[in-house]
Amino acid sequence: MLNLAVPPQLAKVVARLPPAPPSIAFSAAANRLLWPALQAFDWQPLVGRRYAIRVNDLGLTLRFTVSARGFAADSGTPDLTISASARDFLLLLGRREDPDTLFFSRRLVSEGDTALGLTVKNLLDALDPDAVLAQLPAPLARLARRVLAA
């Protein structure tokens, strides 16, 4: 089992960050990693909607939207907010934990448009994690695989 505990000092620093820079960085990373893989699927239901990912133990909320050109930071009220700990998000990314299991154990919380949440879940389930990691430079891909395998 992945052993990741966020140091309290790190959480205090991250919680004080202004919301825009982490959201901009997330959107840039999502455009690099997820956007190419999403092109093979019907991602149109995501367009024009607002999203938030809340990493509870870091005090971090990433806000973004999806347009016809990709992900972009957004400060509007989200249509869908997904909340979990950093550890649980990593478990999801590494496919070491099922989203339904986390949802029913209340470790993953979805708020807002539940139909949109199901669409997002199904799209993410359809993605090939190796294809997503292949978008990273080789050293980062190796590091990501090690973290996800831990």
Total domain count, the chain: 1
Task: Give the tens place of pLDDT for each residue, 122-134.
Answer: 888 888 877 777 7
pLDDT at 11 over 50: yes
Q: In this structure, is residue 2 part of a structural domain?
A: no
In a domain, 85, yes or no: yes
User: Over the stretch 78-99, which tens digit does the pLDDT of each residue have?
Assistant: 999 999 998 888 888 777 888 8
Domain membership flag for residue 39: yes
Contact predicate 83/95, CB 8 Å: no
* Side-chain half-sphere CA neighbours of 115 within 13 A: 2
Is 48 domain-assigned? yes
Report the DSSP beta bridge partners of residue 109. Answer: 83
Range of the domain at 142: 8-149
CATH for 115? 3.30.1050.10
Interatomic CA distance for residues 61 and 43, integer angstroms: 23
Model pTM score = 0.86
Q: Within a domain: residue 1?
A: no
**H runs (alpha helix) in 4-137:** 8-15, 20-33, 35-38, 86-93, 99-104, 114-126, 129-133
Domain membership of residue 118 (yes or no) is: yes
Q: Please state, rounded to an integer, the average pLDDT across all residues of the chain.
A: 87
Residue of 74, 58, 86 lying closest to 26 (CA atoms): 74
Task: Establish if 3 belongs to a structural domain.
Answer: no
